[in-house]
Structure 1
């Protein structure tokens, strides 16, 4: 029975991957509780929000407990304590890692400064904007558009997202014969203004 509850607890908080940091996690929570942020559970972990927008998260790992800032890239970080956990991939998220409860307690004032700056940035609307996907038209698809003006005109009426669905459907085919078969299938749909996956949308 005890093992069942342990498994359930781990399942409830997947960001506490070690279970080694209960006192450190509690101290971080107590510090964050001094601010206006609202504690919520998202994706099974503890998240702190402002007007339902993610600002902070906390989690325990094998070698450290982390306080992360969703848009930490905008923090001044004068103390140089923040790290990018996934360099080259993560754009906005930054972590502050701690190894002991004493370390967290020693930096409480600075932690609050960083959190309050994160709150101010959130209120100011500072956030990483998602990059717009570029619609890339392959030579094969472009040749079909060039050869049929009506097809090209109809294709232009679709949203970029629906255009990409058609393009990816054609380009996913490895053999030229399959590409031609798929092109014949989608042409009537395009001319009738029907998206490739419209039937699956409600």
Structure 2
């Protein structure tokens, strides 16, 4: 156990007992414990393997490369519709965690073996999404904007392409592109925090709502 991570568990709310139990299981698999993005993160030779989280309705255990796991039990979910690599498990009781202990350890060991093998998630699918004409026009007019977009992670690029392309009217697509330019130049994804207050960095948890006169990008 890393003493620097202890305050997270002491300050945990409704799901404290569940998080502590998950911690025991993960540490039994010989992963290093660090505090990243304000949450307990478990690492194998400097590579992130798992991260814990606490939501209103559950606590979570997320695999950074969960898409590569075989998941024979079918227990892994995508955190979001556009998620490419991560997979998450949600828990609402210690008993639920205890029942899955052996399965969780097997999944964690598999994730460690993937890191040992240098396995990587294939993000090529993101590049296969069509670039809307309205976005391409902005690329042609502003090469720096194109470079900024291409510098984003594949997952962030995919989310923007889906967001722009989902609009049925050209006017709406153009408006969405224009509204997203500042975020893209800043290297931010659609759901990334821009106020610096989120407890779920880099994602936004709505903390900006507590700031007076705060204007979303």
Same fold (TM over 0.5): yes
**Long gaps (5+) in structure 1:** 1-11, 143-162, 170-202
Provide the rounded CA distance (Å) in 1 between the counterparts of 2:139 and 2:117.
Answer: 46
1:29 maps to which residue?
Answer: 23
Q: Taking structure 1 as reference, are residues 165 and 111 closer, same or farther at Cα in structure 2, changes over 3 Å only?
A: same
Shift of 1:36: 2.2
Shift of 1:33: 1.0
Where does structure 1 differ by over 4 angstroms across 4 or more consecutive aligned residues? 15-18, 129-142, 166-169
Equivalence map 1:1-202=2 (5 Å): 19-87=13-81, 89-128=82-121, 138=137, 164-165=143-144
Q: Taking structure 1 as reference, are residues 164 and 49 closer, same or farther at Cα in structure 2, changes over 3 Å only?
A: farther
Provide the rounded CA distance (Å) in 1 between the counterparts of 2:140 and 2:59.
Answer: 50
Give the structure-2-normalised TM-score: 0.54
Q: Taking structure 1 as reference, are residues 19 and 133 closer, same or farther at Cα in structure 2, changes over 3 Å only?
A: same
Shift of 1:127: 2.0
How far does the alpha carbon of each residue in 1:163-189 deviate from its partner, in whole angstroms, 9 at most, with x for none? 9317679xxxxxxxxxxxxxxxxxxxx
Give the structure-1-normalised TM-score: 0.58
Asked whether the equivalents of residues 92 and 127 of structure 1 are also in contact (C-alpha less than 8 Å), the reply is no
Is the radius of gyration larger for structure 1 or structure 2?
1
Provide the rounded CA distance (Å) in 1 between the counterparts of 2:10 and 2:55.
Answer: 6
CA-based RMSD: 3.5
